[in-house]
Each structure stands twice: as structure tokens, then as C-alpha cells.
Amino acid sequence: MPGAIYAEGLVKTFGDVRALDGVDFDVPEGTVLGLLGPNGAGKTTAVRVLTTLLRADSGRAEVAGLDVATQPNEVRRAIGLSGQFAAVDDYLTGRENLQMVGQLYQLPAREAKARAGDLLERFNLADAGDRTARTYSGGMRRRLDLAASLVVSPPVMFMDEPTTGLDPHNRQALWELIKELVAGGTTLLLTTQYLEEADHLADTIAVVDHGQVIARGTSDELKTRSGGDVIELVVHDRERIPEAQDILRRLGEGEPGLVAHTRRLTVPATGGAKLLAEVIRELDGRAIEIDDIGLRRPTLDDVFISLTGHSAEFDELNGAGNGNGGRDGGRDDGREKPPRGPDPGRPDPGSPGPGRTGEGPVRDDGREGGAA
Amino acid sequence: MSIDTRRAPSPPPAPAGGRITLRQNLRDSLVVAKRNLLRMLRIPETVVFGLIQPIMFVVLFAYVFGGSISIPGAGLSASAYREFLMGGIFAQTVTFATAGAAAGIAEDMQKGIIDRFRSLPMARGAVLTGRTFADLAQTAVILVVLAVVAFLVGWRIHDGPLSALAAFGLLLLLGYAFTWIGALIGLSVRTPEAATSGGLVWLFPLTFISVAFVPSENMPGWLQPVAEWNPFSATVLAVRDLFGNLPPDYRAPDVWPMQHPALASVLWSVLIIAIFRTLAVRKYQRATG
């Protein structure tokens, strides 16, 4: 029996772009699927198809056992949607927004009112409940948006990049909230660009790129798939980096990656602790001082790069090794939706987000902008 | 922050087949109308500008053109022209709601809020119907203010309150019909700015090539039938008649809508609603992603 969210062979094209190119997934009731992928991978399109906002060209999708194409209205009763852009009315107060959504979910007016009060309380918006939403901060707007999607505590929730643009404190708070929600039995589909977020919240992860699911599994399964461990070290003295790189190249598996401005080197390795000891001995032998060294399991970052090969594209351009230099290779989101004007909720592309376990590499957003 | 999902209400079960009833459609429309009225109250500039133009027109036409436009049955009389004028100004004013509806809907379509609406189990047309209801309420307020200004420049109701109410009814119906044209414009353009100008620009020829400001008898022969069959003219003439603003010797042009202006006004308005509501709701439903 298909799960609470089920998709089979979804295809959606916009002009020449295949935003969805045969996407399948099956999310069992009460679990979280993380759709992980860069901007423009098709994550938002998938959410829009599943929430009845967009019709797929072909394929089939069911939410809570209801067909999104033939029973859209029933589907809408069973879902909550919290999108990338806080979908609240700026000129209504928080309370009025929630009340309106409650009534449009067909709750009686009194119930909608009571529910709005409850939600404001729970989402820490009680004090701001009677102010118009335009006076809210970004975090407050997100909370209000999320509250609006939970008015009827729908069995199936969709969250499209719920923490994009939030500061670390608000992000953490939202994660806690999402966990509580799932603990209460909600099935959730969550899209994110942040590997750490998927790692943290999702039971299963589907890595999406160019409209296709290129890998799926639990976070552990995906990490195991990339094999072995990663040795990561920080060289104290910038001039000694090439020497350290030579050592890693010799002892590790493949070309060491370098994040120049933090003097951080990484290399995949299979020899475990023994190999780590050897690296330390060699560095010591040549008197190369290091600030930090460690053996770690690959992060989803490493997995993502090995799957999508984006680092390879990036590396050819900047001549870095196989490492993490390209992990954030920015791709233009333009193909997923029509322009909506300036979005204050978008993070500064250069600012470190969650999931960037290494220090953010130098970005050049124009470089891979040809995805659309 | 914590949430207690156990206490959350579940939505009432969907009616069989998931069909949306007329009653739900009306209820959802009223919820959306309330939202739009709250917005109007919090952005009062739009209502204020909605008032300035008709008031300006009253003053300009009454005093600048007043003595120079001849009215059939009354000749060149400034006071007769002021009485004659007001039906035109009233009707023109209600059609300006078109621009407000167009801009409001274009703005909504650009914002994330439309995704919220479209993902809710609400009647499909309610986003548009709610907006047109709110514009109707705004138009009613503007009409009241305008009537006061008109009174100050010498306009009077001569045929009793019932006829006057019927006249205001025809005006509101026309205004309501035009907001559906506005809704379609709002859905067809990319920006609220384009919607505002797109909602206004064609209203000028429409309202001027009519009997609103100048009797059709004063126009060149080829233009007279255009003015007389103009949907807008029927309402103007009907309203003049119901307010008792026509000179005693006035004889309406000998074409059907001018001979039966009240009936023609209702028919035109209903026809406009039927066509443009259908087109707008269809366009709204197709405006996906």
C-alpha cells in the first residue's frame, strides 16, 4: 500500500526545461522525507505538484491516499503547506491571518478564532498577534506562516525550504517544532539545500538534481555509500600547505581538497585511525605545524558532491582538488518559478548556512548559472 | 515554542465527491472580502484617491463646462447641466472600481499569499469574488460621499427615495459588473502598476463616448449610435431618470436602450458579469505555477 505521500514518474516541463524528469518516491505515514538538492533541482516543482498548485505533465501522485490530479479539493483538506515565501497577508494582523486561514479550511468562525489564539500562543506570537504582519521580523513571519499551515493539524505537511533566510536561533527553534510535529504522527515532506538540515530532520533523504532523484536512503546509508572516512586538517602556516597536500595525496584516496582562506585540507581515506597516525607522523617529521586534525565520517556534503559531481565542474574551473571546494556551487533558481520580485527572506549567498561543515568556499554565483 | 497537535481540530469531513456548494462559495467569498476590506482600511490612500477624481470631475464639469453644453429640453443652462451631469459622474465613478480590482488581484497573484489560498480547500472563485465584494462596498462608500458633494453644487433628488435607491442599485450593479472586467485584467497583466493603468485607460473613451457628459444629439451622426448603445449610457440615462434630473421636455434618443434605460442597464450589467466572471474564474484556475 502506498505511503502518505506517493509519487510515480512525475514529469513537468517548463518550455525546454524538464523541472521534473520522472520523480518517484513513497513516504510512509508518520515519517519525514527530505528532498535535498541545489537551487533549480526541481524540489519546489515537486512540492507544487503534490500540493495541487501545479499539474504534472505525466505521472501520478497521491497524498493521504488521494489523487492530486483528480481529487485536488480533498487533497487540500489533508495538507498543510509552508513555502519558501511566507504566505501571509502583510496588512492583516497575525490573528486575522490565522483566523482567515482557519475559516478557509472550513472551520466555523468561532473555532477558527479559538484556534488562532492557540497557535499564536504556541508559536510565541501572542504579544504580536494584534499587530499587522508587516511589522514582523523574518523569523516571526516564518512562524506565522508555519502556524497558518498547521491550523487544522493536517496529516500531511509540506515545507519548502522552511529555514531559508532564518538566523541560527530561529532555525534551531523551527527544527524543534518540526520534530514535535512529526512526533505527533504527521507525515512531512521537507525540501532543503542544507545537508545538515536533512541529516537532522529526515528519516529518508532523496537527493534531487536536474529533476531526477539520483540517490535515496537514510543519511547513514548515503554516507556509507560514499565509503570510508575523511581526514581533515588545518595547516598553521600558509606556506606549508603544498607540502601537507603532498603528504595527503600520497596517503589518502585521491586529490586533497583545499579551502584556502581557512587553510583546511580534506582527503577521503580508508585506513582509519592507523592512517591518521601516519599522517601526523609525516607532518611531524617535516615539522609542519597543524592547528587541527581529525578523522570524520563523510558528511552529506561529501556525499552530495560525490553524487552530483558538482565539485568536479567547480574544480576544473578553480583548479582545486577533489575536495569540498565546490560544495556550494551556486546555481540559479530561475527555472523553478516566475520571478516574484525582491525577496528579503533570501539569505546572502555568501553567508554560511547550516550544513556547511567546512568553511564556506569562495563563491562565484555566476559560474554555474547556466543550469536553466 | 511548542505545539500541541493533539488539541488541534481536524477539518470537517469533505462533502461527498468533494464538490463545493454554493453556500461554501459564498462563505469563502465573504471571508476573502473581509480580508480585502481590512486591507482597504489599513491602506486608506486608495479610497482617498478613489474619491478625489470624481470630486474633481464634479467641480470641473459643473463650473468649467457648465454653461456651454446644451441639454435637450433645457438649452444652455448651467443649473440644468449640473443636474444632468451628476448621473454621468456617478456612473463613471462606479466604473473606476475596475482599476482597484485589477490592481488588487494582480498584486495578490504576485505574492506568496496566492499559493496559500490555492492550497486551501476553499471555493476556487472565492479569491476573485471576495475581492469584487470588497470593491462593491468601497464603491458604495464613495457614492455616498460623492452624493454629498453633488448636493453642495446644486444637484437634487426629485423623484423620491425609492427611485433614488433604485438608481443607486443600478449604479452598484454596474460597478460590480465592471470589477469583474478588472479581475480579468488583473489576472492578465504581470504587475499591479500595469493593472492600474490597464484598468483605467479604456474607461475614458468608454465613458466619454456616451451620454454621460454630453448629450448624444450634440455628437457627429456616426458617433451617436455608438454612444447610445454603449452599456454605460443606459445606466447614465436610467439614473438621471430615476433621480428626476432630466429636463421636463427631454426626449430620449429613439433607440431601444435609450427608450428602456433601466432594463437595458440591468441586462448589460448581468451580461458583463456572466461573461467576465466566467473568463476570470477560468483564467484564475489556469494561472498555475
* pLDDT the model gives residue A27: 93
* pLDDT the model gives residue A111: 95
Domain boundary assignment for chain A: 5-217, 228-297
Model pTM above 0.80 = no
How wide is the angle at C-alpha A352 spanned by C-alphas A295 and A327, nearest 5°? 60
For residue B73, pLDDT beyond 50? yes
Task: Report DSSP state, residue B217.
Answer: G
Query: Among A104, A15, A189, which Cα is nearest to B289's?
Result: A15
Give the whole-angstrom CA distance, residue A46 versus residue A116.
Answer: 29
Would you list the DSSP string of B51-93? HHHHHHHHHHIIIIITTTS-BTTTBS-HHHHHHHHHHHHHHHH
How wide is the angle at C-alpha A239 spanned by C-alphas A235 and A241, nearest 5°? 45
Instruction: List chain A residues with CB under 8 Å of B18.
Output: 71, 73-74
* pLDDT the model gives residue A362: 35
Give the whole-angstrom CA distance, residue A283 versus residue A277.
Answer: 10
- Residue B226 binned pLDDT confidence (cut-offs 50, 70, 90): very high
Higher local confidence (pLDDT), B126 or B73: B126
For residue B144, pLDDT beyond 90? yes
The residue whose grid cell reads 602556516 is A237
CATH number attached to the domain at A5-217: 3.40.50.300
Mutate to test the interface with A, among B115, B187, B189 (most CBs of A within 10 A): B115
Give the whole-angstrom CA distance, residue B58 versus residue B71.
Answer: 17
Higher local confidence (pLDDT), A296 or B256: B256
Instruction: List chain A residues with CB under 8 Å of B117.
Output: 104
Orientation angle between helical segments B126-152 and B22-42, nearest 10 degrees = 50
Helix (H) or strand (E) holding B142: helix B126-152
| Residue A165 falls in which region: left (phi positive, over 0), alpha (psi -120 to 50) or beta | left
Domain boundary assignment for chain B: 43-286
In angstroms, the Cα distances linking A135 to A324, A363, B39, B44 are 40, 33, 15, 18
Instruction: List chain A residues with CB under 8 Å of B120.
Output: 76, 101, 104-105
CATH number attached to the domain at A228-297: 3.30.70.120
In angstroms, the Cα distances linking B72 to A308, A351, B60, B64, B214 are 81, 75, 21, 19, 10
User: By the CB < 8 Å criterion, does B78 face chain A?
Assistant: no
User: By the CB < 8 Å criterion, does A363 face chain B?
Assistant: no
* pLDDT the model gives residue A168: 85
Please name the residue ranges forming H helices in chain A. 43-50, 72-78, 94-104, 109-122, 138-149, 168-183, 195-201, 219-226, 241-251, 272-285, 300-308, 310-318
* pLDDT the model gives residue A366: 34
Would you list the DSSP string of B200-215? HTTHHHHHHSSTTTS-
Give the whole-angstrom CA distance, residue A170 versus residue A176.
Answer: 10
Nearest chain B residue to A155 by CA distance is B10
For residue B67, pLDDT beyond 80? no
User: B164: helix, coil or strand?
Assistant: helix
* pLDDT the model gives residue A50: 94
A228 CB-contact burial (10 Å; exposed 0-12 / middle 13-18 / buried 19+): middle
* pLDDT the model gives residue B13: 54
Give the whole-angstrom CA distance, residue B182 versus residue A299.
Answer: 54
* pLDDT the model gives residue A305: 66
- Residue B255 binned pLDDT confidence (cut-offs 50, 70, 90): very high
Reading chain A (372 residues) residue by residue, the pLDDT tens digits are 678 999 999 999 998 888 999 999 899 999 999 998 888 888 999 999 999 989 999 999 999 999 999 999 899 999 999 877 778 999 999 999 999 999 999 999 999 999 999 999 988 899 999 999 999 988 888 889 989 998 988 999 999 988 887 788 888 888 888 898 889 899 999 998 888 888 889 999 998 888 889 888 888 888 777 667 888 899 999 899 999 989 988 888 777 778 778 888 888 887 778 888 999 999 999 999 999 998 888 777 777 766 765 532 233 333 333 333 333 333 333 333 333 333 333 333 333 334 333 333 333 333 333 333
By the 8 A CB rule, do B106 and B191 touch?
yes
In angstroms, the Cα distances linking A350 to A82, A362, B25 are 25, 8, 47
Which grid cell sits at B99?
Answer: 482599476
Nearest chain B residue to A154 by CA distance is B10
Task: Report DSSP state, residue A256.
Answer: P
Which grid cell sits at A179?
Answer: 520534530
